[in-house]
Chain A
Amino acid sequence: MPPARSWRAYPQTYRLEAARCSKCGKAFFPPRLVCNKCNGRQFEHFEMKHTGKVVTHTIIRTPSDEFSGQAPFALGIIQMDDGPRLTSQIVDLPFEELRIGMPVRLEFRRISSEGEAGAIHYGHKAVPVRI
């Protein structure tokens, strides 16, 4: 990934910075300039809590070249407790324990070591919350 592109995403990538529409209350991750529900343009930025639930999942066995060293790996859509949804790798559990509705927490990890610009790239990964 080109350095400027990953630099621009720092506030979201490192602090999970999200935005809530001042008019209708819908929360977005990453922040947007226009609300896709009410067309509002005023937002309050906030740092998302790191907890959420798995909405759906898969196991990637045939990745693109950038992720070839990591396959197979689990991936899912996470419903964050603060409202937005996001896509995240799911780590630290055997594949057969992946479940819809499973509580997870986002942690910062290395995502890929060879991005398009050859830089180490960090981001969030979901880990199961043991109850």
Chain B
Amino acid sequence: MRDVAVIGVGMQKWGELWEKSTRDIFVESALLAMDDAGVDSLDAMYIGSMSPGLFTSQEHLGSVMADYLGQKSIPSTRVESACASGGVAFRMAFMEVASGMHDIVLAGGVEKMTDVGGGDATHALATAADMQWEGVQGVTFPGLYAMMAVAHMDKYGTTREQLAAVAVKNHHNGTMNPRAQFRMEITVEGVINSTKVADPLNILDCSPITDGAAAVILVPADMVKKFKKPGVKVIGSGHATDTIALHDREDLTTLSAVTEAAEQAYKMSGKDTKDIDLAEVHDCFTIAEIIVSESLGLFERGKGGPAAEVGETSLKGRIPINASGGLKSKGHPVGATGVAQIVELTEQLRGEAGDRQVSSARVGLAQNMGGSGGSSVVHILEVM
């Protein structure tokens, strides 16, 4: 395998982009990434997108996006792994460059979620669960994570305030990210008193519905000097699956696909949890960030909630988590999320993150997850 580096990143502001189409949103971010790298042609591309069919009645994004990006004729493929689609698209591009098949490969992600109503969006997202045996009972995604939260609170004593602390921290970080959808501070009391969605989770525990895209350019590490910006090396990649139905897991308080993907990435990179300077993790719900931080090995089981509450995961804490604002503040256009995590890590490791810069960051970890943890992908990046 060849060493691989990220050499360009691109991401426009996320939000409710009613005036823009899916292809506009994707092409704008992809062009930013190509300009950042200084390339105008690609060898191949992968596009993470969970459900363009249900959200916008358009499938076959591989062709749509290569055509509209001015790259007609290159191999271009849409990748689907629910909310982990972007992270998996990045892994596909990484493997393609590592294998020697191609040199300049774009990994992107896009989701246009606001063209349909809230109920239809809830349904489209619910298809990432087991529709036959969970969906049939009226399960929603907040409902699945709420059931994990109830189990985690029962086993470890995790509190409602600790869940809220995750949202408060991520919103604070998001105020310093010009591309975040919701750039406002919130309070613990505000989270606890916000509208109930699925007990014990309230609306301010949930990531929002978002339109957005992100893109990065990968090249062989030995080619980095040909480009205008410093490269960031991809030193670890892991990907694992778990049962599709939450109820088929023996332990509801951990996410084994996250742990297995992380172990693969740690092993490939030769790094340990203590080497990680910052992490972007999949905080689709506040409880998810707590359980993921434990499943990655960054905290012991049951310690994720207290760690968030005392500031260990804040920008100046021991291990800053979601410096970007996370899915909670930045937004969660599902297929784009995993790629946006790589954008954030690259900017942090290049020292380009502005007010939210994590000081002396050298190694970063990104964790992206599909459904209730039925799939997860983990990457580790390092300065070159």
Which A residues lie at the B interface, using CB under 8 A? 1, 5, 9, 30, 36, 55-68, 70, 73, 75-78, 85-89, 95, 100, 111-112, 121, 123
Q: Closest residue of chain B to A89, judged by CB?
A: B137
Question: How close is A9's CB to chain B, nearest CB, in angstroms?
Answer: 7
A56 CB → nearest B CB, Å: 4
Q: Given contacts A30-B133, A63-B138, A75-B139, are A58 and B198 in contact (CB under 8 A)?
A: yes
Pick the interface stretch among B142-150, B289-297, B330-338.
Answer: B142-150
* Stretch of B10-18, B115-123, B275-283, B360-368 with 4 or more beta carbons under 8 angstroms from chain A: B115-123
A-side contacts of B133, CB under 8 Å: 30, 86-87
**B349 to A: closest C-beta gap in Å:** 38
Contact of A75 among B137, B151, B243 (CB under 8 A): B137
- Interface-lining segment among B30-38, B101-109, B246-254: B246-254
The A interface is mostly helix, strand or loop, or mixed, namely strand
Q: Taking A61-B199, A85-B247 as contacts, is the C-beta distance between A9 and B132 under 8 angstroms?
A: yes
Instruction: Give the number of chain B interface residues (Cβ < 8 Å).
Output: 35
Give min CB distance, B187 to chain A, whole Å.
22
Please list the 5 inter-chain residue pairs (A to B) with the smallest Cβ-Cβ separation, ordered nearest first: A65-B119, A58-B146, A67-B138, A85-B247, A59-B199
Q: Which of B153-194 contact A (CB under 8 A)?
A: 154
A13 to B279 Cα, complex, angstroms: 43
Taking the closest CB of chain B, its distance from the CB of A45, in whole angstroms, is 17
- Chain B residues with CB below 8 A from A78, complex form: 247
**A-contacting residues of B (Cβ < 8 Å)?**
117, 119-120, 122-123, 126, 132-134, 136-140, 142-143, 146-148, 150-151, 154, 195-201, 243, 245-248, 252
Q: A64-B140, A68-B119 are in contact. List 11 more A-B contacts (CB 8 A).
A: A58-B143, A58-B147, A62-B122, A62-B197, A62-B198, A64-B138, A65-B122, A76-B147, A77-B147, A87-B137, A111-B137
Q: From B123, B136, B195, B201, give the contact of A111 (CB < 8 A).
A: B136
**A56 in contact with B252 (CB, 8 Å):** yes
Partner of B140, one of A55, A63, A70, A77: A63
* Among A58, A60, A61, A121, contact of B150 (Cβ-Cβ < 8 Å): A58
Q: A100 to B150: give the CA distance in the assembly, Å.
A: 9
Q: Are B248 and A60 in contact (CB under 8 A)?
A: no
Chain A residues whose CB sits within 8 angstroms of the CB of B138 once the complex forms: 60, 63-64, 66-67, 70, 73, 75, 89, 111-112
Chain B residues positioned under 8 Å from A70 (CB to CB): 138
Query: What are the residues of chain B within 8 A of A88 when measuring CB–CB?
Result: 137
Q: State whether A58 touches B122 (Cβ < 8 A).
A: no
